[in-house]
Structures are given as C-alpha cells and as structure tokens.
Amino acid sequence: MKKKVILAVVTLFCKLHLLKPIQVARLKYFYKFHKMPNYEHPTDINEKINWNKFYGDTSRWADLADKYKVREYVQSLGLGDTLVKLYGRWDKASDVDWDRLPNQFVLKVNNGCGDILICRDKDKLDKAIVIDTYDKLVSIKYGDVTGEPHYARIQPCVIAEELLDINKQSINTSSLIDYKVWCLNGKPYCIWCAWNRGKKGADTGVYDLDWNYHPEWSVFTEHYRQGKEILPKPKCFERMLEVASKLSEEFPILRVDLYEVNGKIYFGELTFTSLGGFMDYLTSEVLLDMGSKVRINEISEEYAHIKC
C-alpha cells in the first residue's frame, strides 16, 4: 500500500508539472529497484536506457517511436514489405471515417501503450464509446508521467490498420506472438517473446540467436508469466534478425518488435525505452550483460548540471 501511495504522489506531481522528466525517472527507478540510477557511470541496460533519455542523442526518437511516422523510416530502408496495411490516420477519433474501414481492423493511438482496439465486427462496435475513449487518449501528453520525454514530443493521432490473423501463426494463441528483438549497437542480442496477451498479462520467454530457450534469463511474475510451451523457431527467423539489424544499426539501444503471420514478417514498432528503462522481468545478470555491450559516451559538460 505504501508503494502505491508513493507512486500516486509522484504521478500527481508529474501532472502538476512540479517534477522535471529526469526527476520522474530517478524516482520511478528508485520505486522499482530501491536505489537511485547511476548516471555518472551507468552499468546495466536499465541505467544506460535512462542515461540515453537525458544525455544521449534523442533527436530522432519521437519520430521513430511514433507508430505512424515510423512507417516512413521503415519504408526508407527498403523494408516497406513488412508494414501492416494502413487504413487511415486522423487527428482525433471523432474524425474517423468509419465507412472507409473494413469489417475487421485495429485501432490505436500513435504514441500510447496498451490502448489497442481489436475490432472483429464493425457492426457490433459501440462507436460512441470508442470515439470518447480515443479522443481522451489523444489529449494525453504521454511521457510526462513516465519519465520518457521523447513521447511528449509526439503529436498524437489515431490510426487504423489491418487486423492480422492470429490463426496463421506457429501455435494456437489468443493474441499475436510479439517477437521483441533486442538490438545493442545495431546487433541482435536476444528475442523476448510475448503471447496470449491480455489485461492480466502475457505468456513470455527469452530465446538466443540460435533459438535456444533460456528460462533462467527471465524473472517470471504474475503479469509476465512463463509460457507453458516452447515457441517453434519462426520460419523467417534469419530474415527477422536481418530486419531488426537494419532498423537498429544507427542506435546503441533499440528494441524492434516484429510479428510472423502466415510465413511473412510484419513490423510492429520501435522502442528506445523498454518499460521506461525500469525492466524487472530479466535477471540482474542479463541486464548487466546487456549493458556491458552498449557503448555510450561519458556525460558531457553541457549536461553535467542536470541533476535530480
């Protein structure tokens, strides 16, 4: 209960703009790990993600974390064939042209997390509720309360995309299998997978670059459960690694989310700050090993004055 109260107070202070983003990040890190992040000499991947948020080059982060604008980047690298079909983009949900949409589709905001609407029958959709919900979502300046300032630079909008068929995957699952390829200095490190996703969590598992399963790399929780089965190696696994490498080659830390449906790779999103840089679903040994493989510069004098 005490932790929930602390988090509620921090959230309130953020909404009132009484805390700077770096202060939010420090407090959230302390809340999660019971210690302050070491910005002077960051070691594990969480600390280096947090270092990058405030001292690294984040000039392109907003555009590439934007689920709409990132499509242009993917296309520019010759990977347009991995993009999910786009049905439309609107500044707010009340502008959505429902007649243009097929019977089944996915609706989401371009800057959010966990706000995806999967529509399997448009005729049964309560459009009034959807419009109200998504108009509220686009009014939120996401990133202020998470210590991720690049999200606050994204201009929110609503997009609709093709609904991929979950029945055309390697196993029976209630959701798409999310292949999250961790890339460090432009090279894949491991693949963290999530499937059977829902409000109460997801089945998860970590695989190396030879598709060996490593349950000892994970810290399983009630939310991030250990998958009951080992996932088959994706049919396009080598291509998946190639795509991830190409998308991440300019960045020291990047998570590339991909899907494989009916033997074809689809692009999901790019994430620079996985779980905000407060990941606790991987062991401390893995987090430290990941951090050791990331090259970042020492704090420059230009930013040395930024303190919590």
pLDDT tens digit sequence for 64-94: 999 999 999 999 999 999 999 999 999 999 9
- pLDDT, residue 3, reads 52
Alpha-carbon span 65 to 10, nearest angstrom: 24
- pLDDT, residue 156, reads 95
Concatenated DSSP letters of 244-255: HHHHHTT-SEEE
- For the chain, domain boundaries: 85-163, 178-293
- pLDDT, residue 308, reads 37
Q: Which of 14, 63, 48, 273 is nearest to 148 (CA)?
A: 273
In this predicted model, what pLDDT tens digit does every residue of 205-246 receive, in sequence order?
A: 999 999 999 999 999 999 999 999 999 999 999 999 999 999
**What kind and span of H or E run contains 75?**
helix 70-76
Alpha-carbon span 106 to 87, nearest angstrom: 9
The residue behind tokens 């995806």 is 116
Asked whether the beta carbons of 203 and 224 are under 8 A apart, the reply is no
Which amino acid, 182?
A: W
How much of the chain is in helix, strand and coil states, percent to nearest 5? 35, 20, 45
pTM given for the model: 0.92
- pLDDT, residue 19, reads 84
Q: Which of 46, 12, 5 is nearest to 26 (CA)?
A: 46
Pick out the chain residues at pLDDT < 70.
Answer: 1-18, 297-308
- pLDDT, residue 5, reads 58
The CA angle 116-258-113, to the nearest 5 degrees, is: 30
Q: Which of 12, 1, 55, 67 is nearest to 270 (CA)?
A: 67
What region does 43 belong to: left with phi over 0, alpha with psi -120 to 50, or beta?
A: alpha
Asked whether the beta carbons of 184 and 252 are under 8 A apart, the reply is yes
At a CB cut-off of 8 Å and minimum separation 6, what does 255 contact?
Answer: 180, 181, 182, 183, 270, 271, 272, 274
